[in-house]
Amino acid sequence: MKVEQLYTNCLAQGAYYISHNGEAAIIDPLRETQPYLDLLKQNKDTLKYIFETHFHADFVSGHVDLAKATGAEIVFGPNAQTDYKSYIAKDNEEFKIGELTLKTLHTPGHTLESTTYLLLDENKKPKAIFTGDTLFIGDVGRPDLAIKSDLTQEDLAGMLYHSLRNKLMPLPDDVIVYPAHGAGSACGKNMSKETFDTLGNQKKVNYALQNISKEEFIKELTTGILPAPQYFSKNAFLNKKGYKNYSDVLESGSKGLSVEEFEEFIQNLNPIILDVRKADEYAEANIPNSLFIGLDGQFAPWVGTLISDINHPILLVTPTGREEETVMRLSRVGYDNCLGYLEGGMEAWARAGKPTEAVATINADKFYTDNYKKGVETLDVRKPGEFDSAHLCKADAKPLDFIFDWIDSKNKTQPYMVHCAGGYRSMIAISILKANGYKNLTNVNGGFGAISKLGDVETEIVSQTCSSSK
């Protein structure tokens, strides 16, 4: 028996490869199919089934393309309806992979079709559960993402309460829990950085599996949920309806464009110019009005959060050699309309005499002594929970997640110091603010992490009690 977790850190997402006696199943695959085809070839397995735990909202699954490439059957749980060929399993239905069995456990609550797959060994002994977004390590799925449901989030939370207690908690304690996500995903509130655990340990440490009433569970689950990123509903729709062939998306998006071709697209199509280099490279020189979202961070989730039109044409400025990677990672969240990348990068742009801009940067010490203490306004673009945990007393909480809600609330000619936890999100925020008319922005290198280590700053770092007394 082979069970392999294929974890993708930037999406905090786990797919799974299960095989026995030359047959295989894959659960919740990512958009790009080649890694799975390589695994099948390497293990000399035939892919029999592609199991989907639900209609994912935070990424576009690879089930449709993988089924076309292999002839494997796509399987969803009860209540699912698709616009492509798939098999809708019944509750407790069993599927054979070699001498192993995957049993369907319908566990609605995160969504109506949410399903857990129970792995039984050759002797029908329970070995693992693949829980999708029903049960995470340390958390459970949010109950506000069902597609076109008339049910409230409280209704779905109530369903999840029963799914956990009636379907999952009665299983043996030594069963391994393999979820679809870990820490960093917006599909739950407070997931662990661990990517699997025993069910027995989760019964001890996971708040959702404690001896609490249904009413207490619903209140806990529905309190403090931040609004879902705007791309979630669009990704769920693509997973339900189908999407463009990934190979075609990769081919069309990975075209090298000369400076002249790049400029012609800018003039004729008003595309988003997406710069995915490192933050310090963007700061040194960038194309005016370009959007910075670096590859070396939570790239795809921030693209999905901040680019509202999933079909808007995109031009890329990328590090050399990472052009296809950029297109691939955009496709994971359904952004399939790349026109190509600037061949030769910013060097070619500068050689052609085209205009560039720079972003002022400052280290934490000079920020604190020469600016913050002298009254220069500071924008903290971290998430609300981060800000509430600890922040500079006079900093203004302006989360990047909701930048378009507050972007017109500040004076665009006034100087601002901008920081996040480390410098990645603050550079994203600055790129958006600059494109919207802000004139005097400075990025704090190292962000709050560096600020908090300064020797004389300790009395300024406060909890949310200070924010209420400002």
pLDDT digits (tens, 9 = 90+) for 14-50: 999 999 999 999 999 999 999 999 999 999 999 999 9
Query: Do 2-234 and 360-467 share a fold?
Result: no
DSSP state of 167: I
Give yes or no for a contact between 419 and 377, defined as CB atoms under 8 angstroms apart: no
Collect all residues with Cβ–Cβ distance below 8 Å to 279 and sequence separation of at least 6. 292, 294, 423, 424, 427, 443
Could you tell me the two tokens for 199?
């069910």
pLDDT (0 to 100) of residue 125: 98
pLDDT of residue 459: 61
Q: Give the H or E element holding residue 449.
A: helix 447-451
Rounded to 5°, angle at Cα 171 from 129 and 105:
55
Residues 58 and 54: their CA atoms lie apart, in Å, by 11
List the one residue out of 332, 327, 313 whose CA is nearest residue 276.
327
Cα 434 to Cα 431: distance, rounded to the nearest angstrom:
5
- The pLDDT, as a whole number, for residue 464 is 47
| Contact status, residue 432 vs residue 291, Cβ threshold 8 Å | yes
Q: Which residues of the chain have pLDDT under 50?
A: 464, 467-470
Whether domain 244-351 has CATH 3.30.390.50: the reply is no
User: Does the 360-467 domain belong in CATH 1.20.1270.30?
Assistant: no
> How buried is residue 349: exposed, middle or buried, by Cβ count under 10 Å (0-12/13-18/19+)?
buried
pLDDT of residue 4: 97
Looking at residue 469, what is its pLDDT?
39
Query: Do the Cβ atoms of 193 and 183 come closer than 8 Å?
Result: yes
Q: Is 411 left (phi over 0), alpha (psi -120 to 50) or beta?
A: beta
pLDDT of 147: 74
| Cα separation values, 104 from 95, 240, 327, Å | 8, 19, 35
User: Which superfamily, per CATH, for 2-234?
Assistant: Ribonuclease Z/Hydroxyacylglutathione hydrolase-like (3.60.15.10)
CA angle at 32 for the pair 30 and 36, rounded to the nearest 5° = 80
Give per-residue pLDDT as tens, 332-351. 999 999 999 999 999 999 99
Q: For the chain, which residues make up each domain, given as ranges?
A: 2-234, 244-351, 360-467
Is-contact 277 317, C-beta < 8 A? yes
**Tens-place pLDDT, residues 97-133:** 999 999 999 999 999 999 999 999 999 999 999 999 9
Q: How far is CA 13 from CA 283, 305, 380, in A?
A: 30, 17, 28
